[in-house]
Amino acid sequence: MIYTVTFNPSLDYIVSVDDFTLGRVNRTTKELVYPGGKGVNVSLVLKNLGMENTALGFTAGFTGTEIERGLKEWGCLTDFIRIPQGMSRINMKLRSREESEINGQGPEISEEALEELYRKLDVMKQDDVLVLAGSIPNSMPDSSYEQILARVQDRQIRTVVDATGDLLVNVLKYHPFLIKPNNHELEEIFNVPMDSRETIVRYAGKLQEQGAGNVLISMAGDGAILVAEDGSVQESPAPEGTLVNSVGAGDSMVAGFITGYLKSRSYEEAFHMGIAAGSASAFSERLATQAEVDGILEQMGWK
């Protein structure tokens, strides 16, 4: 089974405004509402690609109820912990001449709720996949990712971590199967400009020296590079298409990579599936579907 953890899931309210102007009433031309958060996005795309998974995390209030309802409607399994106070956050995405976001805070997570999550993870067994994605709420200790990976490290579970800065670096000692920094996040970790393929590959290798298995670096319109744990390096330009929505593209890449690897055990095919899924989401108003992913695989000559 694949499990995703989203500590702070959201209800994403996506509005389109033709010509947004500050200080005046703006009217939408289109609205979308659906469950969000990095791990939730991974769950949704995994399900679209035919991979059963269970979404874990914390929900609260009427927004939390709607997040769970939306995931179940999509066909995802859920096992969220309900927080009695507060409400799950609403994240607003504004599409106009530029994309803008306003992200909510979410409920306070108690030590008891966090312990309950840890106990849920204790059911995981050999060959399961655990995806930890996104930021940690201020009410939780910064070491939460480390505590989870330490708890499961002896069970031969494939762990995937999509986080930034110290949150990512501090878990490398637990040998995650996959990490997915983008080129800017790689720059922030090492304080070095990632201005060439060689530099990116070199510093991805340094993350491997610290314990990472596969390092997948997304570079938006410049494509992606995979430095795999078998020593191979895969790279590809970005597929051609019109950017519609950048939200969730990186999460979709993670879901695509997991799907490709579990189906083929090939890092090359996992890489191709990751790029196709990430691009399909970027070119669509919603998250990538199987048909959209297949279309990009064919466009790139990978299918």
Annotation says 166 is catalytic:
no
Compute the C-alpha angle 98/46/288, nearest 5°.
35
Is 2 in a helix, a strand, or coil?
strand
73 burial via Cβ count (<10 Å: 0-12, 13-18, 19+): exposed
- Candidate list 122, 195, 251, 294, residue with the active-site label: 251
2 with 51: CB under 8 angstroms?
yes
What φ, ψ does residue 135 adopt, rounded to 5°?
-80, 170
Beta bridge partners of 34: 12
What is the helix (H) or strand (E) element at residue 203, kind and residue range?
Answer: helix 197-209
Report, as residue numbers or ranges, the catalytic residues.
251
